Amino acid sequence: MPTIRLKDAEKRYGGTAVKAVSNLNLEIGDGEFMCLLGPSGCGKTTTLRMISGLEHLSQGQITIGDRVVDCVSSGTFVTAEKRGMGLVFQSYALWPHMTIERNTDFGLRLRKVPKAEREARVEKVMKTLGIAQYRDRYPSQLSGGQQQRVALARMLAVNPDVLLLDEPLSNLDARLRLEMRAELKRLHEAFKTTIVFVTHDQWEAMTLATSIAVMSDGELQQVGTPNDIYERPANRFVAEFVGSPPINIIEMTDQSSGPLAGLARAYFSKFYPQLKSIGSVGMRPEAIGFVRDAGAVPEGSLSGRASVTGVLPTGGSWIIELVAEGSKLFLTTHQPPAVSDGAEGLFHVPPEALHVFDDKGDRDWVADIALSKGGEGRPEMVAKKAMA
Amino acid sequence: MSALSGQERRAGRASKFRYNSQVALRDPTTLIGILAALLFGYLIIVPIISLLVDAGRVQFGDERRIGGEPGAFTLYYINRALFSPVAQSLFWTPLTNTLAVAFGAISISLAIGGPLAWLVSRTDMFARRWFATALIVPFMLPAWTFALAWATLFKNRSVGGQLGWFEALGLTPPDWLAYGQVPITIILALNYIPFFILLFGNALRRFDSQLEDSARMLGANTPTVALKIIGPLMLPALMSAIILAFAKAIGEFGVPYVLGLPVNYDLLATGLYRSISSRQTGVAAVLATAILLIGAIALLVDARLVREARKFVTVGGKGAMARRSALGPMRIPATAFAALIFVVSVGLPLLTLVLSTIMRVPANFAFSNFTLDYWIGTNLDTVALRTGILLAPALWSAAFNTLWIVGTASICSGILGLLVGYVVVRTPVWPLAGFLRHVTFFPYMVPGIAFAAAYLSLFAVQRGPIPALYGTVAILMLALIADQMPYASRAGISAMMQLGKDPEEAAQVAGAGWLRRMIWVVIPIQKGALMTGVLLPFISGIKGLSLFVILAVPATDVLTTYSLRLVDYNYTQAANAVVLIIAGIAYFGTVLAQKLTKTNLADGLGS
């Protein structure tokens, strides 16, 4: 399957100036499992629908391999039915007047696949998804999870090169969602299909995707592997959107931004005097440690006095709420905490776990190199990004 | 440099236009929409404009009197209808009568229908479900069925023909009770009660008890809850029912025709009919314009109220629950009240009609007086119609005409309705969607009689390539299609809205082209809606009178005009029998429609 390329793609609805998607450049390679991740209204579903051909561009172009499927300037538009992709809707959109089998073999009938082959393929895909026993039922007689499988089977039956999924798991309960996630991952490996998956659920994106595209307000924020996105968020939006509980942010732009900012400023000027104009600093909750006495703080860490104001068990792990220099910090731990409300001590964060953003909110890659001491913590990645 | 960029910009615009038109025409939706817009423009807007223009133009035959060429501008008709010495009887009296009847009927039906709606939807009255269906039966029957029943009972010696039952028993009903304002008002009132039960009752049913509970939790007592919470939320639905009934009353023809003409009690609709039959087309146009204006104002008010009401609808939410109040000791009296209304508005009139068709002499209940002759007899002792009605060839040809004309028109409007629904929901060209939505709803504002007058005015002569259609089946079908479009397009639009885009897009992604998608996916899913879109117009067309009375000629006689002629000739039993046949078709048709589509009549009303 050739690569899907979106070039300067833009979408406005009904002649309004509001852009649902703007200036989008994205490449989806063969066999990738790409997640479009973002809050609702960020343009991820619009992007998916533009790829499918159900929505046309207002500006820009989309190519699949060498084939231009949508290009405003050359006046080309290939309709959805001629793009040969598969799309699974959030609502599943099963045809209520057809049995499960007819739903599944619809695409094959359209393509006039000979009966024997059609039946064999439908059989195979229905078996794979465990819905063969419902073949003569109607969609309304199935549960949500079963309907979801039929929706998948219907698209997989025609063996599309690209499978588009629009929040297909959001209507399922937690347990079923977990099962279907595993199933999707298996299917991706079994069918070698390129998958584009839209979700607002970061967990889903993290567990499924080979790469994630984070969007906000119609604009692409970052593309990368799940690890990239989590460990090296390209900007404040990505850092704050991904991760639960959310990343702790110390605002550093304003002189009056509080004593914790002062503490951080002192830390940076002592250890990393070459870093100027820091806008903010982010710390993941699991990167923060809490100790009772100053001697236990690792050398070179950002550290300060803190008191525990809440211990929240979440089942197998704990969220601890700290107040350090008047600011709230959340940390998570998988060890049963030996502290309780009101305990006094020190928080500490190792330098390589500090995310430094400039005053525009973009990641400061130079700071990354400095903080990772120019050698540890996957320097080649950091260096590559810094040069780009 | 600047020339080049200008050229580039032009080229860019050209390719953008090419791109946009390619996107708009990637499937035939927009094309169908444009064709439909042209069709309805011609079927709905042009006749109305032609009617309005007729009110200000010299008509054929009036050249001498007015002193101008046919078609020249004149204020003669407006003067004559509004300001001349005959204006009083031509326009002002019918107008006051119409308003008096409309307000009277609405007050009565509100006073009875409001409480009934509450009883049926929010209390533990006995046989609540049964009443919910039984009490809306009058809505399924033609209003003038009840006028005939009334005449059968109360007719006095002022008019010839068979005696009324009371007269036959020796109790002469006074004219005011037998004809004119009182009976017309009562019959229309009984006929509009279902509006309140359907629309107001529906709103009551949807009302979330939690809203009431929240107010109570905050300390509001029952009157406060009723005044501050329930009242404001129910007002739009109530107003909507009032205005729909009003719009119907304005154009009402059959009832005043049967009960008003004997004492020269004219409403606007009967006045219009008279003007047309006495060939005063100019004055008729003025009257029709007046009806149209009143109807349009009423419907505009309604549209506003419905929009207001929509604001509230979203509040309902998922957890809505409707609790029914216990009536306690009032349970039996309440049930008796509902039963009484049922007897008066359905039982008694129908029983009277049925009995009247099997009795030789009115109000004589001796066994020997009963006969089936009027249904299946032969060699009867009458001037014309010497066989029972079921053996009269005229009935069968009228029945055939009805089924063929109304049936064809209904199928056309059902299909058009679904297409309109499809285009409205799917086309990327928004103004087209808006235009179609409004133009197809427009006939709702135009009472049938005014609409028929408009068609008469437009199609009486040849215009361009369209031949004179008066007297043909085509004009009836076209007028019916246009008149029924509000029901059909509403059914189509709401069905397409509910369907959503997903199932069709799923088929598109799977590789199905437009035609395939229509045949394999959209139409099969929408067959229920299509059925409603055909059946609702069919029922309303079967019982419709006002269109036919103006546009039908003997060759295109239908059941309604046939029964009306029998009334005119005083074949009371036969007329009643035909009306019963119509009522039967309308009633069972409605029941069938509801069964088939599992829908509720209230949805068809478009609350």
Q: What is the pLDDT of residues B506-515, one digit of tens each?
A: 898 888 888 8
Mean pLDDT within B551-555? 83
Q: What amino acid occupies position A302?
A: L
Q: Min CA distance, B292 vs chain A (Å)? A: 35
CA angle A279, A283, A287 (to 5 degrees): 160
Mean pLDDT within B580-602? 75
So where are chain B's domains? 35-49+382-607
B109 pLDDT band, cuts 50/70/90, is: very high
Q: Min CA distance, A157 vs chain B (Å)? A: 10
Contacts of B509 in chain A (CB under 8 A): 52-54, 80-81, 83, 85-87, 155, 164
Residues 161-200 of chain A with CB under 8 A from chain B are 164
Whether A46 and chain B come into contact, CB under 8 Å, resolves to no
Asked whether residue B311 carries a pLDDT value surpassing 80, the answer given is: no
Q: In angstroms, rounded to a whole number, what is the distance separating the alpha carbons of residues B186 and B207?
A: 31
More confident residue, A169 or B600: A169
Whether A203 and chain B come into contact, CB under 8 Å, resolves to no
Residues A328-371 have pLDDT tens digits of: 999 999 988 888 888 999 999 999 899 999 888 898 888 888 88
B599 pLDDT band, cuts 50/70/90, is: low
Contacts of A87 in chain B (CB under 8 A): 505-506, 509
CATH code given to domain A248-371 = 2.40.50.140
Q: Min CA distance, A178 vs chain B (Å)? A: 25
Q: Which of A352-356, B122-126, B552-556 has the highest mean pLDDT?
A: A352-356
For B504, the closest chain A residue by CA position comes to: A93
Instruction: Name the pairing type of β-strands A194-199 and A33-37.
Output: parallel
So where are chain A's domains? 4-241, 248-371
Per the prediction, chain B carries an average pLDDT of 82
Among A80, A92, A95, the residue with its CB nearest the CB of B521 is A95
Contacts of A92 in chain B (CB under 8 A): 502
Q: Which of A243-252, B137-146, B316-325 has the lowest mean pLDDT?
A: B316-325
Q: Which of A82-86, B305-309, B389-393 has the highest mean pLDDT?
A: A82-86
For A56, the closest chain B residue by CA position comes to: B23
Contacts 24+ apart (CB under 8 A), A329-332: A329/A248, A329/A283, A329/A288, A330/A245, A330/A246, A330/A248, A330/A285, A331/A285, A331/A286, A331/A288, A331/A289, A331/A290, A332/A245, A332/A285, A332/A286
Q: Does residue A350 come out as left (phi exceeding 0), alpha (psi in the -120 to 50 range) or beta? A: beta
- Tell me if B19 and A155 make a contact (CB, 8 A cut-off): no
Q: Min CA distance, B3 vs chain A (Å)? A: 20
Per cent of chain B over pLDDT 90 is 14
- The secondary structure element, H or E, covering residue A61 is strand A59-64
B605 pLDDT band, cuts 50/70/90, is: very low
- Within 8 A by CB and 6+ apart from A14, the residues are B430
User: What number of other Cβ atoms are within 10 A of residue B224's Cβ?
Assistant: 13
Asked whether residue B108 carries a pLDDT value surpassing 90, the answer given is: yes
Q: Min CA distance, B516 vs chain A (Å)? A: 9
Contact B604, B487 (CB under 8 A): yes
B105 pLDDT band, cuts 50/70/90, is: very high
Contacts of B22 in chain A (CB under 8 A): 75, 77
Topology of the domain comprising B35-49+382-607: MetI-like fold (1.10.3720)
Give the pLDDT confidence score for residue B529 in this predicted structure. 76
Mean pLDDT within B578-606? 71
B298 pLDDT band, cuts 50/70/90, is: confident
Q: Min CA distance, A155 vs chain B (Å)? A: 7
**What is this model's ipTM?**
0.77
- Tell me if A110 and B503 make a contact (CB, 8 A cut-off): no
In order of A182, B229, B452, B570, the CA distances from B446 in angstroms are 61, 35, 10, 31
Asked whether residue B322 carries a pLDDT value surpassing 80, the answer given is: no
Asked whether residue A6 carries a pLDDT value surpassing 90, the answer given is: yes
The number of C-beta contacts closer than 8 angstroms across A and B is 88
- Tell me if A54 and B508 make a contact (CB, 8 A cut-off): yes
Q: In angstroms, rounded to a whole number, what is the distance separating the alpha carbons of residues B141 and B543?
A: 7
Asked whether residue B603 carries a pLDDT value surpassing 50, the answer given is: no
* Cβ-based burial of B204 (10 A; exposed 0-12, middle 13-18, buried ≥19): buried
Among A73, A77, A91, the residue with its CB nearest the CB of B22 is A77
Topology of the domain comprising A4-241: Rossmann fold (3.40.50)
For B21, the closest chain A residue by CA position comes to: A75
B333 pLDDT band, cuts 50/70/90, is: very high
- Within 8 A by CB and 6+ apart from A67, the residues are A2, A78
Residues 496-515 of chain B with CB under 8 A from chain A are 500, 502-503, 505-513
Interface test with B, best of A49, A76, A95 (most B CBs within 10 A): A95
- Tell me if A95 and B22 make a contact (CB, 8 A cut-off): no
- Tell me if B510 and A154 make a contact (CB, 8 A cut-off): yes
Give the pLDDT confidence score for residue A25 in this predicted structure. 95
Whether A72 and chain B come into contact, CB under 8 Å, resolves to yes
Give the pLDDT confidence score for residue B93 in this predicted structure. 92
- Tell me if B524 and A74 make a contact (CB, 8 A cut-off): no
Asked whether residue B604 carries a pLDDT value surpassing 70, the answer given is: no
Residues A123-132 have pLDDT tens digits of: 998 988 889 9
Mean pLDDT within B288-303? 82
B315 pLDDT band, cuts 50/70/90, is: very low
Asked whether residue A184 carries a pLDDT value surpassing 80, the answer given is: yes
Contact A5, A27 (CB under 8 A): yes
| B141 token code pair | 């029957």
Asked whether residue B69 carries a pLDDT value surpassing 70, the answer given is: yes
B357 pLDDT band, cuts 50/70/90, is: confident
Whether B18 and chain A come into contact, CB under 8 Å, resolves to yes
Beta bridge partners of A220: A215
Asked whether residue B523 carries a pLDDT value surpassing 50, the answer given is: yes
- Tell me if A72 and B507 make a contact (CB, 8 A cut-off): no
Give the pLDDT confidence score for residue B323 in this predicted structure. 67
Please name the residue that has the structure tokens 């004009």: B475
B5 pLDDT band, cuts 50/70/90, is: low
User: pTM value?
Assistant: 0.75
Give the pLDDT confidence score for residue A387 in this predicted structure. 43
Residues B132-185 have pLDDT tens digits of: 888 888 877 888 888 888 988 888 877 777 778 888 888 888 888 888 899 999
Asked whether residue A24 carries a pLDDT value surpassing 80, the answer given is: yes
Q: Min CA distance, B15 vs chain A (Å)? A: 6
Give the pLDDT confidence score for residue B70 in this predicted structure. 77
Mean pLDDT within A165-179? 84
| B384 token code pair | 């014309």
- Tell me if A93 and B516 make a contact (CB, 8 A cut-off): no
For A160, the closest chain B residue by CA position comes to: B510
Q: Min CA distance, A142 vs chain B (Å)? A: 17
Asked whether residue B310 carries a pLDDT value surpassing 70, the answer given is: no
User: What number of other Cβ atoms are within 10 A of residue A15's Cβ?
Assistant: 7
Interface test with B, best of A49, A97, A147 (most B CBs within 10 A): A97
Q: Which of A47-61, B70-84, B383-397, B455-469 has the highest mean pLDDT?
A: A47-61
Contacts of A151 in chain B (CB under 8 A): 506
Q: What amino acid occupies position A241?
A: F
| B579 token code pair | 């009306």
Mean pLDDT within B62-82? 79
Residues 419-438 of chain B with CB under 8 A from chain A are 430
Whether B525 and chain A come into contact, CB under 8 Å, resolves to yes
Mean pLDDT within A379-383? 42
Among B19, B503, B513, the residue with its CB nearest the CB of A75 is B19
Q: In angstroms, rounded to a whole number, what is the distance separating the alpha carbons of residues A343 and A345?
A: 7
Residues B432-491 have pLDDT tens digits of: 888 898 888 878 767 788 888 888 888 877 877 778 888 888 888 999 999 888 888 888
Q: Min CA distance, A215 vs chain B (Å)? A: 24
- Tell me if A75 and B26 make a contact (CB, 8 A cut-off): no
Contacts of A89 in chain B (CB under 8 A): 502, 505-506
Interface test with A, best of B22, B23, B509, B518 (most A CBs within 10 A): B509
A385 pLDDT band, cuts 50/70/90, is: very low
Mean pLDDT within B194-215? 78
Contact A356, A363 (CB under 8 A): yes
Among A75, A85, A92, the residue with its CB nearest the CB of B509 is A85
Contacts of B495 in chain A (CB under 8 A): none
Give the pLDDT confidence score for residue A380 in this predicted structure. 44
Among B19, B503, B508, the residue with its CB nearest the CB of A81 is B508
Whether A91 and chain B come into contact, CB under 8 Å, resolves to yes
Contacts of A85 in chain B (CB under 8 A): 509
Residues 92-131 of chain A with CB under 8 A from chain B are 92-97, 106-107, 110-111
- Within 8 A by CB and 6+ apart from B21, the residues are none
Sign of CA dihedral B93, B94, B100, B101: positive
Contacts of A94 in chain B (CB under 8 A): 503, 506
Q: Min CA distance, A171 vs chain B (Å)? A: 15
- Tell me if B19 and A158 make a contact (CB, 8 A cut-off): no
Per cent of chain A over pLDDT 70 is 94
